Amino acid sequence: MAITKEEVKHVAHLARLEFSEEELETFSEQLADILNYVAKLNELDTTDIEPTYHALKITNVYREDEVKESFPTDEILGNAPERENGFFVVPKVIK
Amino acid sequence: MDFEAVIGLEVHAQLLTKSKIFCSCSTEFGAAPNSHVCPVCCGMPGTLPVLNKRVVDFAIKLALATKARVNPVSVFARKNYFYPDLPKGYQISQYELPLAEGGYIEIEVNGAKKKVGLVRIHMEEDAGKLIHDETRPVSYVDLNRTGVPLLEIVSEPDMRSPEEAVAYLKKLRSILRYLEICDGNMEEGSLRCDANISVRPKGSDKFGTKVELKNMNSFKHVQKALEYEIKRQIALILDGKEVIQETRLFDVSRGVTQSMRGKEEAHDYRYFPDPDLVPIEIDDNWIKEVAETLPELPDAKKERFIKEYNLPEYDAEIITSSRKLAEFFEACAKALPKPKLISNWIMTEVLRELNKEGKEIDETNLTPENFVELLKLLDEGVISSTVAKKIFPEVYKGANPAKIVEEKGLKQESDEAALEALCQKILEANPKEVEKYRQGKKNVIGFFVGQVMRETKGKANPKIVNKILTRLLEQ
């Protein structure tokens, strides 16, 4: 399976990463290698096999609907580069 | 060429749980910014989400109420995208195995009943709230809403007009409120609606290019935005232009939809099962347990009210649109077997006050006891309907009607001798009007009744006054 540079660029953009032309070249080769390696699994016949949604066999893990104390706002904002009146401040996003 | 619209709705309903979906932070609305946040909901590395069981209970409730199939195995998935209101960089949602699929909601528009199919109902977490600064190029982020549980309800593209879309939304809201799982407040955003809409020549079975509409915060906005969008798309087609698949925002102040630029690239959410959460298995016992908590739903209640209380369909529809109002009606009808009188008063006086204040009946001081007492006083002829209407606002605020009538001396005057004397006096004082009546302008009688009512401050029994006046004038 071949991975084009455009595809690498697209995936990189989704992860907000930027690469040089050389890097794009390298990664398209490496990603193709990885996918080809994993593609080996496609040789297995999985017709009657339930998909694995989780590696653990357990299901139904819950908590009851109870409120516990949240963290102090100061601590929540502790890593924020900028804050104001209890808000995180970020560059303007227009929706 | 005749066109028809094809509309599907995607509704997000905020659930009325006490705590968030994956952590124990409070879901309370209106708290100080970032005061209901913990490492789990703000996405700190190393934390793990744990599902709130009540969210699943609520989701099953809605599935049962809409006859949807609850999937025996349900899985959470990560929906990946970057936005400042989404601290983890992904939203925990459901993709491949949603909680429920299928089902329908029945609507009625202009007397025609129709089932609107549901594609799916799934559970997910809400994102935070962004406030954009008007003067500086910054946005403020409040993560209190992050992790508040939502149900997403996706309909089939079964609606053909804005009216049908609004009817669907109203019915869904009514069901959510009957189930007491969502307060349905569109202005506060606890019920949000996006629409997919396309147009096509009437009778065609192909779909046109669809547009996604957002930012509709009330039933009126939904109606207006869809109406505008239908016109816009038809005009494009008639002009030989193409409808572009895009997301458009409803501009409330101008009543138009506008392209949402900058988000043109196709969504690529790269969903995958969330390894932090184990699958949910829902067996028949669990479903049975939830089924036992289901209340009578709006449609069933409406049918019953028509049969049991002989209410016109219109009355039954309005009164059962709110569970609280329906319960109020029923409490009254049990105490006073005059359902039509009660419903008339609910649909006029009571709803006027409720709409004015934007309240539900149980948020007011109007009790069934006081309301029934007022209607009894009216029904038994102790007070006139003018007086009843006049004192209603006080009764609505919690006052006892018998006490008001007693204290203010508002008992209806039914003493014929006394009323006759008064009528006589008024006829004598208005010879011109009497002449008009005798010349055949019979409706002048309304003027005389009005005068008598004024003299008696609304206390005269209008039926008796009418009778006396007619007799005197015909002499």
Torsion sign (Cα): B238, B241, B245, B249:
negative
> Does residue A30 belong to any structural domain of this protein?
yes
What the block records as the tokens of B376 is: 């009894």
From A23's Cα to the closest Cα of chain B, the distance in A is: 23
Going residue by residue through chain B, which has 475 residues, state the pLDDT in tens, using 9 for 90 and above. 789 999 999 999 999 999 999 999 999 999 999 999 999 999 999 999 999 999 999 999 999 999 999 999 999 999 999 999 999 999 999 999 999 999 999 999 988 999 999 999 999 999 999 999 888 899 999 999 999 999 999 999 999 999 999 999 999 999 999 999 999 999 889 999 999 999 999 988 889 999 999 989 999 999 999 999 999 999 999 999 999 888 899 998 999 998 886 554 557 899 999 999 999 999 999 999 999 999 999 999 999 999 999 999 999 999 999 999 999 999 999 999 999 999 999 999 999 999 888 888 999 999 999 999 999 999 888 888 888 998 899 999 999 998 888 887 777 777 778 888 888 888 888 888 888 888 888 888 888 888 888 888 777 888 888 888 888 888 7
**Please, where in chain B does CATH 1.10.10.410 lie?**
416-474
* CB B179 within 8 Å of CB B65: yes
* CB B328 within 8 Å of CB B314: no
> Does residue A19 belong to any structural domain of this protein?
yes
**CATH no. for residue A33?**
1.10.20
Q: Angle of helix B313-320 relative to helix B323-335, nearest 10 degrees?
A: 120
Which residues of chain A lie closer than 8 angstroms to B136, CB-CB?
A: 92
From residue B463, how far is each of B238, B410, B469 by CA, in Å? 62, 17, 10
Q: Containing domain of residue A10, as a range? A: 5-43
Q: How far from chain centre, in Å, is Cα B203?
A: 33
- The DSSP element (H or E) to which B195 belongs, if any, is strand B191-201
Beta-bridge partner residues of B273: B77
Cβ–Cβ below 8 Å for A55 and B37:
no
> Does residue A27 belong to any structural domain of this protein?
yes
Residue ranges of E strands in chain A: 62-63, 83-84, 87-91
> Does residue A79 belong to any structural domain of this protein?
no
| pLDDT tens digits for range B333-382 | 999 999 999 999 999 999 999 988 888 899 999 999 999 999 999 988 88
What the block records as the tokens of B1 is: 């060429």
Q: What CATH number was assigned to the domain covering residues B416-474?
A: 1.10.10.410
3-state DSSP helix/strand/coil percent for chain B, to nearest 5? 40, 20, 40
pLDDT at B336: 93
B84 touches chain A (CB under 8 A): yes
Which residues of chain B lie closer than 8 angstroms to A88, CB-CB?
A: 34, 84, 140-141, 143
Q: How many CB pairs under 8 A join A and B?
A: 129
* CB B187 within 8 Å of CB B218: yes
B94 touches chain A (CB under 8 A): no
* CB B33 within 8 Å of CB A80: no
Q: What is the ipTM of this complex?
A: 0.91
What the block records as the tokens of B47 is: 């934390």
Q: Report the distance separating Cα B126 and Cα B304, nearest Å.
A: 37
> Does residue A37 belong to any structural domain of this protein?
yes
What the block records as the tokens of B203 is: 């009778």
State the total domains in chain A.
Answer: 1
Torsion sign (Cα): A17, B246, B121, A70:
positive
Cβ–Cβ below 8 Å for B138 and A67:
no
Which residues of chain A lie closer than 8 angstroms to B137, CB-CB?
A: 91-92
What the block records as the tokens of B72 is: 């025996």
pLDDT at B264: 45
| pLDDT tens digits for range A10-31 | 999 888 899 999 999 999 999 9
Touching B: A residues 25-84, CB under 8 Å = 53-56, 58-68, 70-71, 73, 76-77, 82, 84
B54 touches chain A (CB under 8 A): yes
